[in-house]
Amino acid sequence: MKHKEYFSHETAVIDDGCSIGKGTKIWHFTHIMPSCKIGENCNLGQNVVVSPDVVLGNNVKVQNNVSIYTGVICEDDVFLGPSMVFTNIVNPRSAVVRKDQYVKTLVKKGATIGANATIVCGIEIGEFAFIGAGAVVIRDVPAYALVVGNPAKHIGWMSEFGHRLDFDKNNEAICPESKKKYILKDGSVKKVG
């Protein structure tokens, strides 16, 4: 029998048929369901549920009380804040079975979703986007965008290090921590250099 290369707390439930990468930590009362794929060096807090067929990339951080439902894909370096919520059916009804109608949600590399935010299914959250705490996201979010509120509104841009970008008259901004330069052009942001 192969030695497991990840840590799981004794209260965690890990079903057969899932894949869990090296260095991942799974904490108290978390349930990992069959056919999901969890990358390397992830950290899943307490009371997390990862449903069948969910994909989490490498270095994904999932805080306490998050349910990641079938249809959700998180790329590398995604942060899911405490008690944030994903949905996977557009029009759920208790008496109507719609298990064949799960809608895909893609969270791209480096994105952050704040505490208690709600992500309505069928959208894409761009690379390094930043969803503020409590936001209700009902449409796609561009890369590096900062969105807040209910419904979520785009109010600015964030660096890869999580700092608000202040663009000058030339539509250039410097991250105060990384010192990397960003350019705002045609409604989108790109890191240069």
Calpha distance 163→73 (Å, rounded): 25
**How much is the pTM?**
0.96
Tell me which amino acid residue 34 is: P
pLDDT per residue over 17-34, tens digit each? Answer: 999 999 999 999 999 999
**What pLDDT, on a 0 to 100 scale, did the predictor assign at position 1?**
39
**pLDDT beyond 70 at 4:** yes
Residue 81 confidence (pLDDT) above 80: yes
Please, which residues have CB within 8 angstroms of residue 143's CB and are 6 or more apart in sequence? Answer: 108, 126, 127, 128, 129, 188, 189
Q: CA 180, CA 46: separation in Å to the nearest integer?
A: 35
Q: Of 2.60.40.10, 3.40.640.10, 3.10.20.30, 2.160.10.10, which CATH number belongs to 1-90+99-158? A: 2.160.10.10
Q: Is 54's pLDDT higher than 70?
A: yes
**3-10: average pLDDT:** 91
Tell me where in the chain the CATH 2.160.10.10 domain(s) lie.
Answer: 1-90+99-158
Q: For residue 193, what pLDDT band results from cuts at 50, 70 and 90? A: confident
Q: Which is more confidently placed, 169 or 1?
A: 169
> What confidence tens digit (pLDDT) does each residue in 105-161 have?
999 999 999 999 999 999 999 999 999 999 999 999 999 999 999 999 999 999 999
Look-up: residue for tokens 């056919």?
Answer: 35
pLDDT at 3: 64
At 37 the three-state DSSP class reads: strand
Q: Are strands 105-107 and 67-68 parallel, antiparallel or unpaired?
A: unpaired
CA atoms of 93 and 180, how far apart (whole Å):
47
Express as a percent the part of the chain with pLDDT over 70: 98
Question: What pLDDT was estimated at residue 117?
Answer: 98
